[in-house]
Amino acid sequence: MTLSKRYAALAVLVPAALALLLTTRPWAVGESRDVLSAGTTEVTGGAAAPGVVGLVVVTVVALLGLMTGGRIIRAVSAVVLVLAAAGAAALTLLVVLRPVDAVSAAVAKELARTTAPDATGATTFWGWAGAVVSVALLAGAVAAALSSRSWAGLSSRYERGSRPESGPRGQVRSAWDELSDGGDPTLRDSPEQT
């Protein structure tokens, strides 16, 4: 199934926005068995997997290149889009499937230790929601990348205008050069000029 540009944009932008929002919520919660750490520790998605935010931003930028670029830019953007979405999904799943590591790393950072203490950990609802959204982002990125092969480029109104005349040795002549030769470049484009 081929997606139009509009639906492809929605398939990537909606999960990307949700993923960014969910990184502010706690993905893992637990307690440390260290004497200096008392109480429950909540670890947000952004703290547990800081690379997710950057990779989601890369997917949005790659989507922009995919939708506005020419054939070669679309191919490169499609690869970057899928790789960034896959990276975001992998980082999210690592936190969700190993919440104890996320909690112990957060406690170690809080206590300024180089080794992580023993801890308990559980994945929260927000962590599982982040995992689902990151997989949806990956699916949308793959669908957009595959669909982009059938898309046309931007319309001709976005194309660069005609190239200026070249000089005797092939160099491009600017309006300034034309003024230096005594010509008026504003008359060249006037409707009265034949």
95-133 tens-digit pLDDT: 999 888 888 777 777 776 665 566 778 888 999 999 999
Shared domain for 77 and 144, answered yes or no, is yes
One domain, residues 140 and 178 = no
Co-location of 129 and 173 in the same domain: no
Beta-carbon contacts of 58 under 8 Å, excluding residues fewer than 6 positions away, are: 80, 84
Find the domain containing 174 and state its range. 164-188
pLDDT, tens digit (0-9, with 9 covering 90-100), for 147-167: 888 877 665 555 555 555 555
Do 41 and 78 lie in a common domain? yes
| Mean pLDDT along residues 21-34 | 85
Question: Is 193 a domain residue?
Answer: no
User: Are residue 85 and residue 38 in the same domain, yes or no?
Assistant: yes
Do 150 and 170 share a structural domain?
Answer: no
pLDDT tens by residue, 48-96: 888 999 999 999 999 999 988 888 888 999 999 999 999 999 999 999 9
Residue with tokens 């020419």: 70
Amino acid 139: pLDDT? 95
CATH number at 13 reads: 1.20.140
Whether residues 24 and 99 fall in one domain: yes
2 compared with 78, residue with greater pLDDT: 78
Number of domains in the chain: 2
Residues 100 and 178 in one domain: no
pTM of the model: 0.72
Whole-number pLDDT of residue 165: 56
Residue 34 lies in a domain: yes
Same domain, 50 and 146: yes
107 and 182 assigned to the same domain: no
Residue 70 confidence (pLDDT): 83
Q: Is 95 exposed, middle or buried (0-12, 13-18, 19+ CB in 10 A)?
A: buried
Q: Which of the pair, 134 or 177, is modelled with greater confidence?
A: 134
Whether 103 and 181 share a structural domain: no
- Read off the tokens for 11: 């398939």
Task: Please list, in sequence order, all residues whose beta carbon lies within 8 angstroms of the beta carbon of residue 193, skipping any fewer than 6 positions away.
Answer: 187
Residue 51 lies in a domain: yes
Mean pLDDT of 10-37: 86
Asked if the structure places residue 72 within a domain, the reply is yes
In this structure, the answer to whether residues 34 and 124 fall within a common structural domain is yes
The predicted structure's pLDDT at residue 169: 63
- The Cα 18–Cα 64 span in angstroms is 18
